Amino acid sequence: MLNFFDLANSGLPYPITKDTLVLYKQVSKQYLDRYLLESIRMLVPIKIKNKFEGAVGGKLDLKIPMALLLYWFKHDFMKWMDKSPVCPSCNISLSLRYVKGNSWIVRSVEYYDCPQCSFTLAFPRYGEIENIAFNRIGRCSEWSFLFGAILSSLSIQSRIVHDFLDHCWNEALIEEKWIHVDSTLEYPISVNNPHYYEQNWNKKYQYVLAFSGTEIEDVTKNYSVNWETILQQRKKRKNSDMSRIIDYYEKI
Instruction: Convert the pLDDT of each residue in 113-130 to its tens digit.
Output: 999 999 999 999 999 999
Residue 178, beta-bridge partner list: 173
pLDDT of residue 7: 43
Q: Kindly report, residue by residue over 23-82, the tens digit of the pLDDT.
A: 999 999 999 999 999 999 999 999 999 999 999 877 678 999 999 999 999 999 999 999
Q: Is the pLDDT of residue 105 over 90?
A: yes
Q: Which of 114, 162, 180, 182 is catalytic?
A: 182
pLDDT of residue 10: 63
For the domain 4-78+139-251, what is the CATH code? 3.10.620.30
CA 81 to chain centre: 15
Q: Kindly report, residue by residue over 179-189, the tens digit of the pLDDT.
A: 999 999 999 99
Q: Is the pLDDT of residue 95 over 50?
A: yes
Q: 157 falls in which pLDDT band (50, 70, 90)?
A: very high
Q: What percent of the chain has pLDDT over 70?
A: 96
Mean pLDDT of all residues in the chain?
A: 94
CA within 13 Å, CB half, 196: 17
Catalytic-residue membership of 113: no
Catalytic-residue membership of 140: yes
pLDDT of residue 56: 85
CA 78 to chain centre: 14
Q: Is the pLDDT of residue 4 over 60?
A: no
Q: Is the pLDDT of residue 2 over 70?
A: no
Q: Is the pLDDT of residue 210 over 70?
A: yes
Q: 191 falls in which pLDDT band (50, 70, 90)?
A: very high
Q: Give the mean model confidence (pLDDT) for residues 197-201.
A: 98
Alpha-carbon distances of 14 from 11, 192, 212, rounded to whole Å:
9, 28, 21
Alpha-carbon distances of 220 from 131, 164, 194, 211, 227, rounded to whole Å:
30, 11, 10, 13, 7
Q: Which of 140, 162, 163, 180 is catalytic?
A: 140
Q: Which of 87, 162, 167, 180 is catalytic?
A: 167
Catalytic-residue membership of 76: no
pLDDT of residue 238: 75
The pair phi, psi for residue 6, each rounded to 5°, is -65, -40
pLDDT of residue 60: 72
Taking Cα atoms as reference points, which of 139, 141, 111 lies closest to residue 23? 141
Residue 161, beta-bridge partner list: 169, 210
